[in-house]
Chains A and B, each alone.
Chain A
């Protein structure tokens, strides 16, 4: 066995081995990197240098800003306002609450950018409402969990910032934001269509009509939080500010909205908001720092080149290769969380998909990857959105995931469309001259 082979086994095998026995992901990554560095004779201070260079990046600031913005909005209780607004639009039809569930996730996703936050905030409002109206708890939870995945694709999404960082300098956050908007909406409209065609099969109850005198209040209450999406999308697309700057502005806007306009949160609890943000950031930022060193070691050992050669050796058909990559990401997504997978798999798979054999745009691949891993958040055995959804709806995971099978099918169809029709992702950034 050559030193390189041994080093690759220690790097990848060691990482997954430590991961499975509950060593924190970031530290499992760092330990396997250190062990590999000792085998290859790499100076360990280089690892320190790589960790610093991983986070010493102005674009990275967008992550804390977006997470803090989401926390401010959650603290201000915007979920009810968004649900009311969606009810106003589609709530009157038969199966109205099912449509509301799809639509509010689209709106909320554009504000929070997190599927788990979406499930816990919106789920706790919509699921009890749906159950009360006669929908089955499993359907209500399943629909909430699947529609929440829109939040990861519709901008802002801090996972897109992570992908942009993992992909290196070639991908801008702004172009990813633009590329994610249409696939996110496609997923939302696919779920809407699914509900529409299945309304008789599930025997959906009639919807509720909101009295006209409440319309204006509901619209005004919802339009202010939804303006966050406008700040980010228009700001970035029009070149008014960078993605990082848009995140800071949106964060300040969310703060003013919560504490001064709606006055729905108390100033004395602001410390708790910062602590919750810090808790999320502890996970994400450490991972980014360590993953940079891990990726450096992989490139040193030429792992991406080997994988490219292997996959191209299996088949030269672009579509089969893309199917294999999708399957790989879907499987990994079932067992691991999103951020670590983005950090680990991007440096490995990006050279493969951008190679002449496939010729994919890094922006398009970013959307495919995030879509795949978003499905992983709704699937057992490790699907944090599914777990939180089942906790909110108090339903057993095995029964709910069984009832979700048709919804998984809809998601897979949407994923295939996004994978094989590049213009779905690339149309908006190309039109705006960002790709």
Chain B
């Protein structure tokens, strides 16, 4: 069951990643074409502003969902980083974070869907493309669905924090710094990483203090 869910999740995201990449490329092409047409042919495209706006809305919410999948959204780890790696406190904060994201996903799915349904009942259309106005709200429930799906998989342990799809497991600047110090220690120690040195390096807090109990 878990592997089926993982496969389903992977393919859903791959499709949306493809849509996101195409949207980004299409936005650039349309805007560049507008400039070229204006200066070279003295003409323009009537939908040149409306379509990129729709695409950027779609792109934003798809990127938001992909950020949840690969845990690339920006976090402040001042308190989290002070707890022991793999300890209960860190695990608790991770689960709490996933729960918060799940609530946001459910909100986007339900209220975004509600907004779409409400707009469907209205007769308004977008001025240039003639599309119904509810189309511009579709990205929110779509992203809500993906965020809910991902959060549930993370909470149930089907997906693990390092199990990324689009990128290397995300590290904040502090972690990158810690890793570089560990690498340095490994080189100094004849390419064999001494756990104690690495622990000591990473026990240096960003504020410059050293944790006394962590010094080997």
Contact = CB atoms under 8 A, between A and B. Distances in A.
Interface of A: 18-28, 30-31, 34, 44-45, 47-49, 51-52, 55-58, 60-61, 64-65, 68, 116, 241, 244-245, 248-249, 251-252, 271, 274-279, 281-283, 285-289, 335-337, 339-340, 380-388, 390-392, 394, 396-399, 401-402
Given A26-B74, A286-B73, A391-B180, A31 B53 contact: no
Contacts of B25: 274
Given A22-B80, A397-B208, A285 B75 contact: no
Contact of A241 (B35, B56, B103): B35
B36 to A, nearest CB: 9
Contacts of A23: 75, 96-97, 100-101
Given A20-B76, A24-B75, A61 B136 contact: no
Interface stretch (B2-10, B107-115, B152-160, B191-199): B107-115
B87 interface: no
A413 to B, nearest CB: 24
19 contacts: A22-B77, A34-B107, A45-B115, A57-B53, A58-B52, A64-B27, A244-B31, A252-B28, A275-B166, A281-B63, A283-B72, A286-B73, A288-B60, A384-B173, A387-B177, A388-B173, A391-B176, A397-B204, A398-B208
B141 to A, nearest CB: 9
Contacts of B149: none
Contacts of A402: 208
Contacts of B57: 52, 55-56
Contacts of A282: 63-64, 66-67, 72-73
A386 B20 CA distance: 32
A279 B184 CA distance: 28
A27 B104 CA distance: 7
Contacts of A31: 100, 103-104
A56 B137 CA distance: 10
A25 B73 contact: yes
B114 A45 contact: yes
Nearest to A277: B24
Chain B at the A interface: SS class: helix
Interface string B111-155: 110110010000000000000000011001000000000000000
- Per CB-CB distance, the 4 closest pairs between chain A and chain B, nearest first, are A398-B208, A387-B173, A282-B67, A24-B73
Interface in B29-83: 31-32, 34-35, 49, 52-54, 56-57, 59-61, 63-64, 66-67, 70, 72-80
Given A274-B24, A381-B78, A27 B208 contact: no
Contacts of B108: 48
Given A248-B31, A281-B63, A381-B207, A18 B173 contact: no
B187 to A, nearest CB: 9
Contacts of A57: 53, 56
Contacts of A30: 104, 107
A26 B97 CA distance: 12
Contacts of B184: 394
B177 A397 contact: yes
Contacts of B101: 23-24, 27
Contact of B56 (A21, A45, A60): A60
Interface of B: 17, 20-21, 24-25, 27-28, 31-32, 34-35, 49, 52-54, 56-57, 59-61, 63-64, 66-67, 70, 72-80, 93-94, 96-97, 100-101, 103-104, 107-108, 111-112, 114-115, 118, 136-137, 140, 166-167, 170, 172-174, 176-177, 179-181, 183-184, 204-209
A394 B180 contact: yes
Contacts of A245: 31-32, 34-35
A387 B174 contact: yes
A33 to B, nearest CB: 10
B179 A391 contact: yes
Contact of B93 (A22, A65, A279, A396): A22
Nearest to A51: B140
A21 B73 contact: no
Contacts of B80: 21-22
A306 B103 CA distance: 31
Contact of A278 (B32, B118, B166): B166
Given A277-B24, A278-B21, A45 B118 contact: yes
Given A27-B73, A387-B173, A279 B64 contact: no
Contacts of A384: 172-173
A276 B166 CA distance: 8
With most chain B CB atoms within 10 A of its CB, the pick from A49, A278, A397, A402 is A278
Nearest to A24: B73
Given A22-B79, A30-B107, 15 more contacts: A21-B79, A21-B97, A26-B74, A48-B114, A51-B140, A56-B53, A61-B27, A65-B27, A68-B28, A245-B34, A249-B35, A252-B28, A285-B59, A381-B206, A394-B181
Given A44-B107, A380-B208, A391 B177 contact: yes
Contact of B100 (A27, A65, A286, A388): A27
A376 to B, nearest CB: 13
